[in-house]
């Protein structure tokens, strides 16, 4: 055989055959291992997906007298089988309506439990009427650069997607808050991924996907610079929100900054790290113990690395004394300070930011009229006795969200002909009695006929609001 002749010409006898067999065996083993690993990853992701949700929000903006409605998309993940969901605060900010779509397509309205203050986190809750699948937080402190990670979310509202990458860096400071310690990853994170989980190879949540750098000129999507709030921070904040309704954290009443290497060099303190204080509030718990220009070197016996470390230690120590080793006017000394609750963070009613204007809920914000004979003739509907015309659509309404507009003709609801407004009202009442989740409308717009599948969210015994299914 040609291949055999070529092989004999370039190698020698039995050694050549042994080498070939070894190569084939090793290649087969490597291929099998790779296939098994891929299969294991796929099975892990399949187990996680039921706990990842898509979030659609509606908010009002612009002139309060003539507001415009904005629809936005985000992600979240279930952390309790009772329906508690973690997402980013910026995903739900300003929303009057939060709609959660589960992985199986079930749609629920969500209530805002609380937000994370300086940390871009929020906790929302849905009533699913049955236990849900939940994800577990892992230890982000164990994450190392190079570890494989997966980002799961709803980019651009297209639906749940999974991307893979590695931990590119840890403890990144984006200057958003004193709690910044982001995990950086090259797993693709885009608009809409916000609030979704970043999971490790074991399927544990080690971060909440929150931000990414865009491409050139602020256009385009992921360029491999994504950031997630680590689980060490997010789990603590979520637990506080659930317990108190807000992040109840400690405070020292100080302002300061990280002792940069050049600052330390200027003071003759090469290789020294810590935090240098700029101000100490007279009404704060550190007054009398700390002074401006103090340099904090140690916190409870642990080397202070930066100002963030000091503030995070205080956040977690309400009412518990902190042992600080400081440098004051060239001399080291020990100081004890006891953080108190940070002022201004006390619980306030957590409601959706703006209220949707009242609408005719029974007809989804529609004003219907009899279909004029002339219009029926224009539409080629002379042989049909069904159809009512949309005379008006409330500007901020479920009907407007669904894309219905003046002049549209509703021919049927639930495949039943609609001949009058009363017919439409009776159809909706039947849906309410049956507690249906969706309504099917046959709509004629000009010469085009289409079906609209609309999601019904029942808010009480006699009311329903209507929202179109997220794309």
Which among 183, 182, 185 is positioned nearest to 148, based on CA atoms? 185
Which whole-number Å values give the CA distances from 165 to 148, 150, 361, in the listed order?
6, 6, 46
Distance (Å, rounded) from C-alpha 314 to C-alpha 305?
A: 14
Give the torsion sign (CA, 192, 197, 201, 206).
positive
Question: In the 8-state DSSP scheme, what is residue 125?
Answer: E
Which residue, among 326, 332, 404, has the nearest Cα to 365 in the 3D structure?
404
Write the DSSP assignment of 55-110 as a string of letters. Answer: EEEEEEES-TTS-EEEEEEEEEEEEETTTEEEE-HHHHTTEEEEEEE-TTS-EEE-
Catalytic residues: 90, 120, 194
d(CA 92, CA 49): 21
Nearest to 211 by CA among 178, 236, 255, 175: 175
Describe the crossing of helices 13-48 and 2-10 by its angle, rounded to 10 degrees.
110
Tokens of 422: 């009363």
* Residue reference for tokens 């042992």: 323
Cα 83 versus chain centre, distance: 15
């Amino acid at each position: 055989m040609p291949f055999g002749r070529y092989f004999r010409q370039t190698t020698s006898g039995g050694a050549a055959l042994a080498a070939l067999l070894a190569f084939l065996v090793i290649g087969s083993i490597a291929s099998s291992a790779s296939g098994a690993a891929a299969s294991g990853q796929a099975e892990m992701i399949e187990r996680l997906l039921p706990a990842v949700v898509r979030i659609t929000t509606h908010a009002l903006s612009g002139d309060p007298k003539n507001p415009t409605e904005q629809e936005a998309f985000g992600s979240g993940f279930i952390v309790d089988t009772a329906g508690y969901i973690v997402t980013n605060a910026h995903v739900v900010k300003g929303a009057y309506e939060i709609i959660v779509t589960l992985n199986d397509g079930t749609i629920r309205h969500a209530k805002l439990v609380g937000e994370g203050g300086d940390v871009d986190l929020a906790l929302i809750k849905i009533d699913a009427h049955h236990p849900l699948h939940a994800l577990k937080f892992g230890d982000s402190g164990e994450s190392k650069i190079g570890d494989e990670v997966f980002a799961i979310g709803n980019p651009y509202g297209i639906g749940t997607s999974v991307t893979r990458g590695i931990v590119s860096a840890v403890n990144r400071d984006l200057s958003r808050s004193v709690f910044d310690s982001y995990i950086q990853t090259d797993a693709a994170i885009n608009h809409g991924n916000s609030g979704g989980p970043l999971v490790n190879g074991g399927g544990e949540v080690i971060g909440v996907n929150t931000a990414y750098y865009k491409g050139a000129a602020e256009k385009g999507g992921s360029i491999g610079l994504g950031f997630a709030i680590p689980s060490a921070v997010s789990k603590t904040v979520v637990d506080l929100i659930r317990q108190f309704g807000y992040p109840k954290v400690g405070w020292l009443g100080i302002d300061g900054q990280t002792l940069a290497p050049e600052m330390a060099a200027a003071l003759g303190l090469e290789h020294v790290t810590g935090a240098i204080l700029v101000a100490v509030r007279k009404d704060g718990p550190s007054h009398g113990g700390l002074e401006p220009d103090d340099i904090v070197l140690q916190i409870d016996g642990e080397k202070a690395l930066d100002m963030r470390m000091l503030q995070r230690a205080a956040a977690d120590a309400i009412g518990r004394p902190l042992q600080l080793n400081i440098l004051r006017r060239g001399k080291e000394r020990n100081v004890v300070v006891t953080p108190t609750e940070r002022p201004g963070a006390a619980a306030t009613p957590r409601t959706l930011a703006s209220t949707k204007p009242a609408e005719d809920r029974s007809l989804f914000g529609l004003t219907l009229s009899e279909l004029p004979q002339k219009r029926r003739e224009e539409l080629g509907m002379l042989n049909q006795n069904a159809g009512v015309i949309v005379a008006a659509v409330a500007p901020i309404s479920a009907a407007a969200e669904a894309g219905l507009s003046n002049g549209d003709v509703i021919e049927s609801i639930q495949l039943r002909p609609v001949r009058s407004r009363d017919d439409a009202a009776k159809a909706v009442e039947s849906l309410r009695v049956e507690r249906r989740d969706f309504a099917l409308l046959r709509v004629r717009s000009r010469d085009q006929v289409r079906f609209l599948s609309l999601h019904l969210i029942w808010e009480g015994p006699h009311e329903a609001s209507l929202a179109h299914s997220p794309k």
